[in-house]
């Protein structure tokens, strides 16, 4: 049910083809991010792609890109910084390895180390408009490789260069890299490896493990008539379907009906236990809004949860072709099963794109009723139940390739397909000949309906890049999956949803992984403020199969490891100072807006803040310090005040000598106590 957008490598390929290597055409806007060219230790094997910033993390011995072997490498970032005004900046790097930064052809920074921050560069002047940037990173001889490039205008609070300021042009090398990635992505998204690859390494692409809906108990979940039509021609019901058109010839319709009849008879097993709803104060649905409800409170649940990010609302007169429709939802689900599905979408399909919103039973009922009210009612078609038809359906399931993707049945799989090695050999014999007669050809037996650019990408990948299936690169996993899951339709678009591009540098990956996977049994704020006014109806859903992998990839994109390095013990003296700083009696009055564990915020004026009891477990230390020094540098709309300026002095001179960095560190040590944080002082 999640939105099927155009594959992001396809979009990138189109952008590359439309942009010149040297000078962008006057009517073409350079694309966001920087090109980065990786070169292996042999000095010959290269790969070019796009990076959102000058940052990366590559574990020792691992590959920096799926198209290079593991081991030592270099990475050259190229593009432009686009400055609104002329100015001078200081640059700094946190690096394990070596990094050389060039701005407008001149060396601005050279840094080398094993993880510590480098000294600041000299002031570097940037022109108004476009400034050429080149950064060359060399991995260390041993150990993890990482780099994080920072900048600051005043020598205070350095942070990453805003991704909106970075841009790049196209090149033949980028075009090639983009095409190979598109081929790789198409191959895994369409489950090609399930038929053509007998086994794969444990550290291979995680997407090679992607499943399809289980056949266990499917007859109790799906209507026979819909299954028959879907099996015959999936794209007639959903143009973006990955399920191929397997059946052809005069008997195709009868074969589809036989398979559907057999599946309709599979009613046993597959019971679903809904995920418990995570509600803080009260459900957001149930059509039980107060008489003085705000406009947001009066919206239906479909609107409150922002389902329109991926779906056309029922009855939409001019539907967005990129979004999934609910036209066939009543025809698809057996009575009562849509309700069950909404409460646990991943129950029979671990890698489904539809996330789990942890709906209460009442919320799921409200949403199901809304979706079913405006769509076509299903036909009451009784499936064939005679033994001959069921036996024929069972045989077709065994021989048509169904069991290569769909599990849940104890049947022998009798379908065989040539391995990737055989396809590769065939390509080498005649590179110019299209693969007519199989998945990619002009007369495709498998009926995937690939476009000409997609066919070319799959062809190129099979010949030149198939070994990349064996390499999992967390940074690229995050790029692929956040595009496929449509994350930016909420993040950075909906008020109070943080921009996606900051999250990898903000959140500790172990916490983020648990949160994305739905393992954190709380929100960071309540749905409603202490006095009952609403705060945020939208909620972060869970992506169970992808959560920890996504978090590790997002962290790597910002130069952080998948597991946060352990800190030393909490300094009790500093924690006591932090305790005083957060209180109202001689402190910063943090408790006015922020709750601390079970203690609610004392006096929320406009917007309740994040509960500080969870902050240290979820937030990267470096991000916490940048946020505390100058919140508006990260979020210009934040209500959080700036307590310290760039002088390094605090107005609270009696605490730690008024040193701002020491005071921020004291607050950090205090919140590291987590559930053991003593309550701040709140005068009566």
Would you say the CATH fold of 572-676 matches that of 31-168?
no
User: Which pLDDT band, with edges at 50, 70 and 90, does 22 fall under?
Assistant: very low
**Residue 461 reports pLDDT greater than 80:** yes
CATH, domain 31-168, list 1.20.1440.130, 3.30.2350.10, 1.10.150.120, 2.60.120.1560: 2.60.120.1560
pLDDT in tens, 339-390: 999 999 999 999 999 999 989 898 899 999 999 998 888 888 999 999 999 9
Predicted confidence (pLDDT) per residue in 147-205, tens digit: 999 999 988 999 999 999 999 999 999 999 999 999 999 999 999 999 888 777 778 99
State which H helix or E strand residue 112 sits in: strand 106-117
Q: How far apart are CA 667 and CA 661, in angstroms?
A: 10
pLDDT tens per residue, range 289-299: 555 566 666 67
**What per-residue confidence (pLDDT) applies to 25?**
43
Antiparallel, parallel or unpaired: β 124-126 and 159-160 = unpaired
CB-facing half-sphere around the CA of 430: CA atoms within 13 A: 4
pLDDT of residue 5 exceeding 50: no
Please write down the HEC assignment for all residues of 557-577: HCCCCCCCCCCCCCCHHHHHH
pLDDT at 72: 97
**Statement: residue 275 has pLDDT above 50:** yes
Question: Per-residue confidence at 543, pLDDT binned at 50, 70, 90?
Answer: very high
Q: What is the DSSP letter of 526?
A: -
Between residues 339 and 318, the one the model is more confident about: 339
User: Which pLDDT score, from 0 to 100, does residue 85 have?
Assistant: 86
**What is the Cα–Cα distance from 529 to 593, expressed in whole angstroms?**
10
In this structure, the chain runs to a length of 684
pLDDT at position 243:
92
**282, pLDDT greater than 70:** no
pLDDT grade, residue 132 (50/70/90)? very high
Residue 257 phi/psi, 5° resolution? -70, -35
Across 420-434, 483-497, 600-614, least confident range: 420-434
**What mean pLDDT is predicted for residues 446-457?**
83
What is the predicted pLDDT for the residue at 7?
Answer: 36
- Percentage of the chain modeled with pLDDT above 70: 87
Cβ neighbours for 475, distance < 8 A, ≥ 6 positions apart: 51, 56, 57, 553, 556, 557
Give the pLDDT band (50/70/90) at residue 477: very high
Per residue in 586-638, pLDDT (tens digit) is: 899 999 889 899 888 888 776 778 889 999 999 999 999 999 999 999 988 88
Does residue 12 register a pLDDT over 80?
Answer: no
The count of other CB atoms within 10 Å of the CB of residue 55 is 26
Per-residue tokens: 454:
């997609």
Q: Return the higher-pLDDT residue of 273 and 429.
A: 273
Q: What is the CATH number of domain 572-676?
A: 1.10.760.10
What Å distances lie between residue 589 and 76, 346, 624, 641, 667, CA to CA? 47, 43, 18, 11, 12
23-33 average pLDDT score: 64
Give the model's pLDDT for residue 676. Answer: 95
Torsion angle of C-alpha atoms 304, 271, 210, 204, degrees rounded to 10: 120
Range of lowest pLDDT (14-18, 45-49, 276-280, 395-399) = 14-18
Task: Look at residue 431 in the predicted model and tell me its pLDDT.
Answer: 42
Query: What tens digit of pLDDT does each residue of 61-115 get?
Result: 999 999 999 999 999 999 999 998 899 999 999 999 999 999 999 999 999 999 9
Q: Cβ contacts of residue 240 below 8 Å, gap of 6+?
A: 4, 324
pLDDT above 70 for 525: no
Least confident of 516-530, 543-557, 582-596: 516-530
Closest CA relative to residue 453, chosen from 48, 180, 196, 207:
180
Average pLDDT (443-451) is: 64
Going by C-beta distance under 8 Å and a sequence separation of 6 or more, which residues neighbour residue 621?
A: 567, 668
Residues 132, 95 contacting (CB under 8 angstroms): no
Average pLDDT of every residue of the chain: 88
SS3 469: helix
Of 101-105, 208-212, 436-440, 653-657, give the lowest mean pLDDT range.
436-440
Average pLDDT in the 416-439 region?
61
The domain locations on the chain are 31-168, 285-358+473-565, 572-676
Q: What pLDDT score does 129 carry?
A: 94
Residue 637 sits at the vertex; the CA angle it makes with 633 and 638, to the nearest 5 degrees, is: 75
């Amino acid at each position: 049910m999640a939105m099927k957008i155009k594959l992001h490598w396809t979009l990138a390929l189109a952008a590359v083809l439309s942009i010149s290597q040297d000078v962008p055409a006057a009517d073409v806007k350079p694309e966001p991010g920087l090109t980065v060219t990786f070169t292996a230790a042999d000095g010959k094997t290269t790969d070019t792609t796009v990076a959102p910033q000058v940052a990366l993390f590559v574990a020792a011995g691992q590959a920096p890109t799926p198209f290079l072997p593991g081991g030592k490498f270099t990475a050259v970032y190229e593009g432009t910084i686009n400055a609104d005004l002329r100015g001078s900046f200081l640059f700094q790097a946190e690096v394990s390895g070596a990094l050389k930064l060039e701005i407008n052809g001149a060396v601005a920074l050279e840094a080398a180390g094993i993880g510590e921050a480098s000294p600041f560069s000299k002031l570097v002047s940037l022109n108004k408009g476009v400034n050429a940037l080149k950064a060359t990173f060399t991995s260390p001889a041993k150990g993890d490789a990482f780099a994080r490039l920072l900048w600051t205008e005043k020598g205070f609070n350095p942070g990453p260069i805003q991704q909106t300021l970075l841009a790049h042009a196209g090149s033949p090398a980028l075009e090639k890299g983009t095409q190979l990635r598109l081929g790789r992505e198409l191959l895994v998204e369409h489950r090609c490896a399930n038929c053509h690859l007998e086994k794969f390494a444990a550290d291979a692409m995680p997407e090679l493990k992607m499943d399809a809906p289980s056949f266990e108990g499917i007859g109790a979940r799906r209507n026979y008539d819909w299954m028959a039509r879907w099996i015959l021609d999936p794209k007639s019901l959903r143009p973006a379907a990955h399920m191929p058109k397997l059946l052809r010839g005069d008997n195709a319709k009868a074969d589809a009906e036989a398979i559907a009849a057999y599946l309709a008879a599979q009613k046993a097993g597959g019971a679903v236990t809904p995920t418990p709803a995570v509600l803080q104060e009260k459900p957001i649905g149930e059509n039980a809004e107060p008489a003085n409800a705000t406009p947001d409170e009066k919206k239906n649940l479909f609107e409150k949860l922002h389902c329109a990010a991926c779906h056309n609302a029922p009855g939409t007169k001019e539907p967005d072709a990129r979004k999934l429709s609910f036209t066939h939802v009543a025809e698809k689900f057996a009575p009562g099963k849509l309700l069950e599905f909404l409460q646990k979408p991943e129950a029979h399909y671990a890698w489904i794109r539809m996330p789990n919103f942890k709906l209460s039973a009442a919320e799921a009922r409200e949403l199901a009723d809304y979706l079913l009210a405006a769509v076509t009612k299903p036909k009451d078609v009784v499936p064939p139940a005679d033994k001959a038809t069921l036996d024929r359906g069972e045989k077709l399931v065994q021989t048509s390739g169904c069991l290569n993707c769909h599990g849940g049945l104890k049947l022998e799989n009798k379908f065989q397909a040539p391995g990737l090695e055989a396809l590769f050999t065939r390509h080498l014999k005649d590179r110019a000949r299209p693969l007519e007669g199989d998945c990619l050809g002009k007369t495709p037996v498998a009926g995937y309906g690939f476009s000409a650019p997609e066919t070319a990408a799959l062809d190129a990948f099979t010949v030149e890049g198939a070994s990349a299936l064996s390499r999992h690169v967390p940074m690229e996993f995050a790029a692929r999956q956040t595009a496929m899951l449509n994350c930016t339709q909420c993040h950075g678009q909906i008020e109070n949803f943080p921009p996606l591009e900051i999250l990898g540098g903000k959140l500790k990956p172990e916490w983020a992984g648990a949160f994305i996977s739905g393992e954190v049994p709380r929100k960071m704020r309540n749905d409603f403020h202490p006095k009952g006014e609403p705060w945020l109806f939208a909620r972060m859903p869970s992506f169970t199969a992808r959560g920890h992998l996504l978090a590790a990839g997002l962290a790597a994109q910002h130069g952080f490891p998948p597991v946060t390095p352990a800190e030393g013990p909490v300094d009790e003296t500093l924690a006591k100072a932090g305790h005083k700083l957060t209180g109202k009696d001689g402190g910063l009055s943090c408790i006015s807006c922020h709750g601390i564990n079970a203690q609610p915020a004392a006096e929320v004026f406009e917007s309740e803040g994040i509960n500080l009891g969870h902050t240290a477990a979820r937030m990267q230390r470096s991000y916490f310090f940048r946020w505390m020094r100058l919140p508006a540098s990260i979020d210009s709309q934040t209500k959080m005040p700036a307590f310290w300026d760039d002088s390094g002095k605090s107005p609270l001179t009696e605490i730690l000598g008024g040193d701002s960095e020491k005071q921020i560190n004291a607050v950090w040590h205090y919140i590291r106590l987590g559930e053991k944080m003593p309550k701040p002082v709140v005068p009566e």
